[in-house]
A and B are shown apart, each in its own frame.
Chain A
Amino acid sequence: MMRTLFFLGVVVFCGTGGEISITRTMKRVGEVKSLAPRLLLPRLGRAFHLGSMWLGILLLAISFYSLLALLSWNPVSFVIPATAMSYAVGVLGAKYLLGERVSRMRWAGVLLVCLGVALVAWAR
């Protein structure tokens, strides 16, 4: 039980931490305004020169392998609903680490999404 809870925490916090790190990278790189490959590819390439991009990839890799470990010990109908809390943790991270303003309507939407993902996966 303790092992499952520990890895669940790793999946949720490393996963959202990785995505927040990649978001921070893309905000530093600047807004993508053109989809022309000549302009787009150097901009995306610039992201890979920043440490926060690699930190994000490392955290996502840790989260992914922890998810595989969790799936080897528990049924998917437990693992996916349990990891649905990532959406709420992600919004908390966005608010406190990225400075995003999260309105009540967005919070309500996120909580409905968490519940919906949990139900869809649980009823599989």
Chain B
Amino acid sequence: MLDTINLRVKTLAAVALMVMCSSMGDILLSRGMKQIGAVNISSAGALGQTFVRILINGSVWTGIALLIFCTMIYMIVLSWADYSFVQPSAAFSYAIVPVLGYLVLGEPVKTIRWAGVLFIVLGVFLISRTAPRTTEPRL
């Protein structure tokens, strides 16, 4: 019983970290690419310049580092938890973006989008009530 609770807490904490890292990673990549400007593919020289600007952009590198970290957490959590528990729970990131947009940036959010956020939260809540692992672990 205690093992199941520990496993659930450990898995949900890992999923929460994964969701935060992937959301932050996406935001930093997006900010980096906005700082760089529209990608110019009119000539090899212009494309090369854009490539160099990407290579020296701190936001892009931090975003990539966070996404690599997120992939590592994903691999780690899949070593002990069910795929059918982890994958839909990670969809929580879809619910976080509109909420952050509303709270931090003051963006208007349509009612139908709030309904979507509510469905995701309810869905993840139901999934979190199930056993995180239903197969035998390999040691």
Contact = CB atoms under 8 A, between A and B. Distances in A.
Given A31-B138, A31-B139, A123 B119 contact: no
B134 interface: yes
A60 B72 CA distance: 15
Chain B contact surface mostly: helix
Contacts of B49: none
A117 B119 CA distance: 8
A49 interface: no
Contacts of A30: 79, 137-139
Interface string A63-88: 00000000000000000000000010
A19 B127 contact: no
Size bracket of the A interface: 35 or more
Given A31-B139, A87-B91, A109 B125 contact: yes
A123 B110 contact: yes
B84 A113 contact: no
15 contacts: A26-B79, A27-B135, A30-B137, A87-B88, A90-B83, A100-B83, A102-B134, A108-B123, A112-B122, A114-B123, A115-B119, A116-B123, A117-B116, A117-B120, A120-B120
Given A44-B72, A87-B91, A109-B130, 14 more contacts: A26-B75, A30-B138, A31-B137, A32-B80, A35-B76, A100-B84, A105-B126, A108-B126, A109-B122, A112-B126, A114-B123, A116-B119, A117-B91, A120-B116
Interface of A: 19-20, 22-23, 26-32, 35, 40, 44, 47, 87, 90-91, 93-95, 98-103, 105-106, 108-124
